[in-house]
Chain A
Amino acid sequence: MGYDAKLRVWRGDDEGGELKDFTVEVNEGEVVLDVIHRLQATQAPDLAVRWNCKAGKCGSCSAEVNGRPRLMCMTRMNTFTEQETVTVTPLRTFPVVRDLVTDVSFNYEKALEMPAFQPPAELKPGEYRMAQVDVERSQEFRKCIECFLCQNTCHVVRDHDENKPAFSGPRMFIRAAELDMHPLDAAENRKEFAQESQGLGMCNITKCCTEVCPEGIHITDNAIIPMKERVVDRKYDPLVWLGSKIFKRAGA
């Protein structure tokens, strides 16, 4: 059974904007993105919204629904009561382009700063062989759809724009962990890069990135904390440093 939902959507651009109220029909089984599309089709044809797959796999329709960072296509309308006003706003952390669309270039530039996979010198393409147990940790991080909800919810940049030059954010930390745990990556300085250039030490592991990840990646427990521990190995633990020198286990 359909009903008329009360919708409040942020309309505006970088000059300013406000929340506007709408009443939009909702049918059984629909998600927030369906309702936004109906609003666009029937009442606000100039409403800007970014979307693509409607299946939670492209990471395009990131927004904030009732203040919580969500993919609009994966937020079912039946999680709200029929009387409830559903508020949809753009991601707060990034500059707004228009309405629900923000400029997420910050994330792409941080990705460009990240040193790429460094193949081992002794192997040619086609000779790479890896055991499953050695790649499964990195594979978890490859599930990332780059919706940037983790980047958006991270208070280090959400509440402090001034930290953006020094902080790459959780999405880039899982990339750092993915490569540092990669069995064939030959780069030796990923821990130092994470600490000194990506701002790993600024993370205070309050786990909001993990909470909002639509792919269920254990960003904090499996990437950020292990990377912090690896940094401790190099910078704050003389015993591990000494052990690695004596036993030559750097590549273990």
Chain B
Amino acid sequence: MSAPAAVRDIARRRATIAGRTLRTDRWWLQPLITVVGLVAWVLYAVIRTATQKYYWVPQYHYLTPFASPCISASCIPEASHLGQWLPAFPPLVPFAIITLPFLLGFRLTCYYYRKAYYRSFWLSPPACAVSEPHKKYSGETRFPLIFQNVHRYFFYAAGIIALLNTYDSIVAFHGKTGGFGFGLGNVILLANVVLLWAYTASCHSCRSLVGGRLKHFSKHPVRYWMWRQVSKLNEKHIWHWRGRRWARSR
């Protein structure tokens, strides 16, 4: 019996075509934009959170999501909506140290982010039909990338954090002299919360959990309806995180 085609293919020769690609379009542009955009945003975020400053506007009760929840003794007391049950932080430690690892994990394991950084940073592949530079490839089958499978746990955490950010955005409807107030900060905080919920709800894990994992939609009409709504959001998943990155940077 002859060897399977998959084995035979390895020994047989492909067309001898020189060059890693014959693409004539600017295939390198999108990965470049992603690298520049993400690096700039990460640098900004690191500096912004490490400064431990400019996170609270006392007149209007605006609290930046980068510092929420502010539970350290170093926080301005009015900004600590959930109390201060951690000791004072040394310099450079972000006040939102409790939530930031989960938010970072949610994004790192996100299926859309994965596409973006595998292509742009790891060049695996840099673009479709453009050869990657690596000699070996095992995908997400081994440590550490097998941990991409925990995306849904970060999704659960992101839901709790979205609740916190929603609370912060409601508290921010505060006038300069007390009572109700509305300003540009509210618009940005609201945009952040709406986009955060949209990004979280449109997550592929959410799509699977609400109904995608079912075999018979007809037996579960409510979950089928939810799956269709999440599916509609899911088509625009990438715009939610791009928009939210913008809102968080304000």
Contacts and interface: CB of A to CB of B under 8 A. Distances in A.
A204 B234 CA distance: 18
Consensus secondary structure, chain A interface: mixed
B139 A94 contact: no
Contact of B146 (A134, A201, A226): A201
Q: How large is the interface on B (under 10, 10 to 19, 20 to 34, 35 or more residues)?
A: 35 or more
A208 B220 CA distance: 33
B215 A251 contact: yes
A92 B17 contact: yes
Given A67-B22, A208-B125, A202 B137 contact: yes
Contacts of A199: 139, 141
Interface string A185-205: 000000000000001011111
B14 A93 contact: yes
Nearest to B208: A229
Contacts of B42: none
A54 interface: no
A229 B204 contact: yes
Interface residues of A, number: 73
A181 interface: yes
Interface in A195-249: 199, 201-208, 211-212, 221, 225-226, 228-233, 235-237, 240
Contacts of B136: 160
Contacts of A95: 8-9, 12-14
A204 B16 contact: no
Interface string B70-93: 000000000000000000000000
Given A89-B15, A153-B128, A203-B140, A108 B5 contact: yes
B10 interface: yes
A24 interface: no
Interface in B150-180: 150-152
Given A133-B218, A226-B208, A203 B139 contact: yes
B242 interface: no
B38 to A, nearest CB: 16
A14 B13 contact: yes
Contacts of B130: 67
Interface string B121-140: 00011001111101011111
Given A64-B129, A67-B23, A161-B10, A205 B114 contact: yes
Query: Which 5 A-B pairs have CB atoms at the shortest separation, nearest pair first?
Result: A67-B22, A202-B139, A67-B23, A229-B208, A95-B12
10 contacts: A19-B17, A67-B23, A94-B14, A96-B14, A201-B140, A204-B118, A206-B114, A206-B124, A221-B234, A229-B209
